[in-house]
């Protein structure tokens, strides 16, 4: 008798909604004005890992909408110009989506290099827009203070890719 393999269906709730809510909650927690030993909590751009992982997991029409909404929330929470982070996150999503065939099945080191390049692209785009809007260049040290913790989030993005990549065996 042949046994049928169980199909583990991972829908948009598991790989889009729950991570989005977790990112929003973590962003709010990290934005609290807490000081430990004179140091403030880092404020990485947590949605960057979603913008990198989602097009590699499964291209979707819901993911860019969720990224746009999460980016708007980040802009509102940090008091920045509306639309800056949604644009940067969607640019990263688009770059990764276009290079999806190159990145599929690559080693972790290659994915980290791509994640780093995409993070640099997003921060450069944001820096350029903010500089043009304010007619003054923001602090490079503040930029690095936000970019380095964002780069350190790669293991979470890699975990999402590994976790949800084989989430639905019907698409193999």
This prediction has a pTM of 0.88
What pLDDT is attached to residue 2?
Answer: 60
Averaged pLDDT, 51-70: 94
Averaged pLDDT, 62-77: 96
The answer to whether residue 155 is domain-embedded is yes
The answer to whether residue 62 is domain-embedded is yes
| Total domains in the fold of the chain | 1
Averaged pLDDT, 77-87: 94
The answer to whether residue 111 is domain-embedded is yes
The answer to whether residue 1 is domain-embedded is no
The answer to whether residue 2 is domain-embedded is no
Strands 35-36 and 39-40: antiparallel
CA 113 to chain CA centroid, Å, is 15
The 10s digit of each residue's pLDDT in 17-59 is 999 999 999 999 999 988 888 888 889 999 999 999 999 988 8
Let me know: does 9 contact 58? Beta carbons within 8 Å. Answer: no
Q: What range does the domain containing 127 cover?
A: 12-167
Residue 156 confidence class, pLDDT cut points 50, 70, 90 = very high
Burial of 168 (0-12, 13-18, 19+ CB in 10 A): middle
**Whose CA is closest to 161, among 97, 105, 85?**
105
Cα–Cα distance between 168 and 7 in angstroms, integer? 7
Q: Which residues are bridge partners to 36 per DSSP?
A: 39
What pLDDT is attached to residue 172?
Answer: 44
The CATH code of the domain that includes 48 is 1.10.1760
């Amino acid at each position: 008798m042949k046994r049928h393999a169980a199909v583990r269906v991972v829908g948009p709730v598991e790989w889009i909604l729950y991570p989005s809510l977790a990112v929003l909650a973590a962003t709010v927690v990290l934005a609290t004005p807490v000081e430990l030993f004179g140091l403030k909590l880092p404020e990485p751009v947590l949605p960057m890992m979603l913008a990198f992982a989602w097009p590699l997991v499964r291209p979707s029409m819901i993911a860019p909408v969720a990224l746009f909404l999460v980016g708007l929330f980040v802009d509102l929470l940090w008091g920045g110009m509306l639309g800056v982070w949604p644009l940067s996150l969607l640019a990263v999503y688009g770059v990764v989506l276009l290079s999806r065939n190159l990145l599929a099945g690559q080693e972790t080191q290659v994915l980290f290099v791509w994640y780093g390049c995409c993070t640099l692209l997003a921060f450069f785009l944001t820096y350029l827009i903010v500089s043009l809007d304010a007619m003054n260049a923001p602090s490079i040290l503040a930029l690095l203070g936000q970019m380095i913790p964002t780069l350190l989030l790669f293991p979470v993005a890699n975990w999402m890719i590994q976790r949800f990549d084989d989430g639905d065996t019907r698409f193999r």
